[in-house]
Amino acid sequence: MTVRAWAELLRISALFTVPGDALAGAAAAGRRPGRSTALAVGSSLCLYEAGMALNDWADRDEDAVDRPHRPIPSGRITPRAALTAAGALTGAGLALAARAGRPALTVAAGLAATVWAYDLRLKHTPAGPAAMAAARALDLLLGAVATPPGAAPAPARAALPAAALLGAHTYAVTSVSRHEAQGGSTTAPLAALAAVAGIAGSLVRERRTVRNAPARLLIPALTGAYLRTTARPLVHAALNPSPPLTQRAVGSGIRAMIPLQAALAARAGAAGPGLAVLGLVPLARALSRKVSPT
């Protein structure tokens, strides 16, 4: 079991799409990033990687046929090791969330349950994309409700619109990903493209309500980065729904979560966190050339 094998199993290039969930959630709740936000980010990272390990454990028989190069079917990581890692990472994620307050632990428990339900039951059902969307939305809400010791619990209601937009993007990308092994779907990329356009339109329309001038000016640029990251690969996948182009569209859709999270933070008036999240884009792009995020 090598470091490379674990990097592939955990899809570490996709890790950079995770911290922005909690940062956008904290911004939507009107909180500055702090210790509680860092704990929420740590919890999110652990639960995300738990899902990755569990995903390959659950798909080991399917991967033996369609993706024999993956770490488990190739023999580089044992199924038992992957399942143990999933359990340990889930426990670590819940422990970190508990230190960010009871509301954070409650949301993290719901997130963990959604992740395990998706990987073990829902992934190959019509409810799969909705479950994945719910997981991302809950991840953003985790950042919204995480509170420092002695502080009043943050209401999650203010973060619900941002969670809905992130969930809509996740639903669209997950719907496309269901065809990445075999290809053949033109409808899914087109539907995802329509969803992306709708999300971008919502971000730009709502910039007028942002009082912070730097944040208001950032929103069009961040929205443009979101569109540039995801729109063209989706168009290519719609025109030629082959497995390689579909996989490329999925990978771009995953990376597009970073500028989307940045735009959501800016929409909440948090220009600094928005720029900090956007700074993860080069890292995600560079690492995705070495380890596939899908």
Residue 211: the pLDDT is: 80
- Stretch among 54-63, 157-166, 238-247, 281-290 having the lowest mean pLDDT: 281-290
Number of compact structural domains in the chain: 1
- pLDDT confidence of 284, banded at 50, 70, 90? confident
Q: Is residue 154 part of a domain?
A: no
Q: Residue 272 belongs to what domain range?
A: 3-148+159-289
**Does residue 209 carry a pLDDT above 80?**
no
Q: Is residue 52 part of a domain?
A: yes
Q: Is residue 260 part of a domain?
A: yes
Question: What is the per-residue DSSP string for 115-148?
Answer: HHHIIIIITTSTTHHHHHHHHHHHHHHHHHH---
Q: Is residue 294 part of a domain?
A: no
Can you list the alpha helix ranges (DSSP code H) found in 206-293? 213-239, 243-255, 257-267, 271-278, 281-288
Give the mean pLDDT of 2-20: 94
Q: φ and ψ at 150, to 5 degrees?
A: 85, -10
More confident residue, 264 or 156: 264
- pLDDT confidence of 83, banded at 50, 70, 90? very high
Task: Report CA dihedral (163, 125, 53, 69) to the nearest 10 degrees.
Answer: -120
Condensed to tens digits (0 to 9), the pLDDT of residues 136-188 reads 999 999 999 998 776 776 678 899 999 999 999 999 999 999 988 787 789 99
- Which among 221, 212, 217, 225 has a CA at the least distance from the CA of 270? 212
| pTM listed for this prediction | 0.94
- pLDDT confidence of 66, banded at 50, 70, 90? confident
Rg (CA), the chain: 18
How many Å apart are CA 85 and CA 76, to the nearest integer?
Answer: 14
Cα of first residue to Cα of last residue in the chain, in angstroms, is 20
**Does residue 217 carry a pLDDT above 80?**
yes
User: Which tokens in the block code for residue 51?
Assistant: 């899902």
Condensed to tens digits (0 to 9), the pLDDT of residues 90-110 reads 999 999 999 999 999 999 999
Question: What is the per-residue DSSP string for 79-115?
Answer: HHHHHHHHHHHHHHHHHHHHTT-HHHHHHHHHHHHHH
Q: Which domain CATH number covers 105?
A: 1.10.357.140
**Does residue 294 carry a pLDDT above 80?**
no
Q: Is residue 153 part of a domain?
A: no
- pLDDT confidence of 286, banded at 50, 70, 90? confident
How many Å apart are CA 248 and CA 134, to the nearest integer?
Answer: 23
Residue 291: the pLDDT is: 81
More confident residue, 48 or 185: 48
Q: Is residue 235 part of a domain?
A: yes
- The answer to whether the Cα torsion of 186, 189, 191, 194 is positive or negative is negative
Average pLDDT, the chain: 93
Question: What proportion of the chain, given as a percentage, has pLDDT over 70?
Answer: 98
Residue 154: the pLDDT is: 67
Residue 200: the pLDDT is: 97
Residue 288: the pLDDT is: 83
